[in-house]
Structure 1
Amino acid sequence: MITNQDLVELYGPENVVTVPADEVERLRVRDADAEVLARVGIPAFSPVIFTNHVEGEPPFLEVFDVETKDGSVHREVLLGWVPDDPVINFSLDAQQGFVTFVQRTDPPQFDVVNNNLAEFVEFLYLIDRFRMQPVDDPEVHEKSRHELRDRLRAMDPFSFEAPDLWWPKVLARVAAPGPGIDAFA
């Protein structure tokens, strides 16, 4: 598992968000997710993939309850958005720990992105670390991209069950890494 230091070294301290303990308590998330939010943190911005900086509503870490088909209610915590598309939200299922895409329609639509918050943060970190590596040899770069895909798939096989899921689409489009270079073709 990655650490807060890993995130700070890659993103810089101003781009890693940790959540104070009293705020984590308000969210009523699983202990494992509380640990990630309070001690490890999450990137504030991952180019093209994720941001928690969006003007207006809904706010970062908004808690909202969703009634399921069977009439029960489960709690979601808003984590962020896809940059340039604030309609697509990332949320954390407070009881089960899934990170999902949520479209807040009536009824809301959910698609699982990762099995848990730790994996989501690690996926962002590993992909951004890959993107920031210099590309001296395109063949080596492509081999590294396949190794990254295999590592991510081993961590969370569900996230790669179909090519139209989020992470396979991200990795299929990762181009030359580096700051200022668009990650998608």
Structure 2
Amino acid sequence: MSVTYAELRSLWGDGNLIHFPLDKFDAVLGPLGPELFPPDGAQPIDVPILFTTVIAHSQIEVYTHLQLEVGDEEYELIVLGASPRDDELLFCLNAATGAVLLLDLGTPALELCNSSYATFVEFLFRLGQLIATDPGGRERARRAMELHDRLESLDPAAFADPEAWWPMAFSQLESTGR
């Protein structure tokens, strides 16, 4: 289950995709390989309910480089987008590992969202497909449960904490048919 660039274009179109500026972050990303990135570095501009690149903070925009300390750990992060429902939640690429972390600016706290940028975009794509063909009710819940199982097998770490982003999102989707 690996999304292709053609599939991304088919769902979102050229006008709704942006591309990660690798050349801007060569010095920061170090040894991260292309397998950690989505096809052609592409990501959607917006996925309803889940993700947006429109960030409500005046000093932060998509692909802003952040250096911060959370607890005893130092992080180099690159902002990929935000939650459309909570502008304090930013999706960030961990420059050291290639994982996507959810940064809560209010706390500040970090949680793992996906093991790689590629799986993050894959999750957005698969959920974007579900949203685009949403039948509602019990059928939505059934499809969400099937997708949950497929995505969990792709990136088990994204579902390890039941209070994390993806488990909470799927919990809402799966409960709509009850």
Q: TM-score interval w.r.t. the shorter chain?
A: 0.7 to 0.9
Any runs of at least 4 consecutive aligned residues in structure 1 with deviations exceeding 6 A, and if so which? none
Match of 1:114 in 2: 114
Letter in 2 for 1:163: P
Q: Is the 8 A contact 1:64 1:75 kept in 2?
A: yes
Letter in 2 for 1:113: C
Letter in 2 for 1:85: D
Letter in 2 for 1:110: L
> Are the structure 2 counterparts of residues 13 and 172 from structure 1 closer, same or farther at C-alpha, using a change threshold of 3 Å?
same
Which runs of 5 or more structure 1 residues have no equivalent in the other structure? 176-182
Match of 2:59 in 1: 57
1:154-173 alignment, distance < 5 Å: 154-173=153-172
Per the alignment, in what secondary structure is the counterpart of residue 9 of structure 1? helix
Q: Is the 8 A contact 2:88 2:106 kept in 1?
A: no
Match of 1:132 in 2: 132
Aligned length: 172
Give the C-alpha shift of residue 28 in structure 1. 2.5
Identity %: 24
Which runs of 5 or more structure 2 residues have no equivalent in the other structure? none
Q: How many angstroms apart in 2 are the aligned matches of 1:155 and 1:2?
A: 12
> Are the structure 2 counterparts of residues 133 and 61 from structure 1 closer, same or farther at C-alpha, using a change threshold of 3 Å?
same
1:1-150 alignment, distance < 5 Å: 1-25=2-26, 27-28=28-29, 30-32=32-34, 35-36=37-38, 39-55=40-56, 56-67=58-69, 69-70=71-72, 73-104=74-105, 108-135=108-135, 138-150=137-149
| Aligned Cα root-mean-square deviation (Å) | 2.6
Q: Is the 8 A contact 1:33 1:117 kept in 2?
A: no
